[in-house]
Amino acid sequence: MNGSKVLIDTNIALYLFRGDHDLGRILQDAETYVSFINELELLGFKGITPDEINWMELFLDECTVMDYNHGIKEITISLRRKYKLKLPDAIVAATAIFLGLPLISADTHFDKIKELTFIQYQP
Which residue type, as a one-letter code, is found at position 17? F
Position 120 scores a pLDDT of 96
CATH of 5-120 given 3.40.50.1010, 3.40.50.300, 3.90.480.10, 3.90.1150.10: 3.40.50.1010
pLDDT tens digits, residue range 12-50? 999 999 999 999 888 988 999 999 999 999 999 888 999
Mean pLDDT over each residue of the chain, to the nearest integer: 94
Binning pLDDT at 50, 70 and 90, where does residue 123 land? confident
Domain regions of the chain by residue span: 5-120
Q: Which residues make Cβ contacts (< 8 Å) with residue 63, sequence separation at least 6?
A: 8, 32, 33, 34
Global pTM reads 0.93
Dihedral over alpha carbons 89, 94, 100, 106 (to 10 degrees): 10
Q: 4 and 34 in contact (C-beta within 8 Å)?
A: no
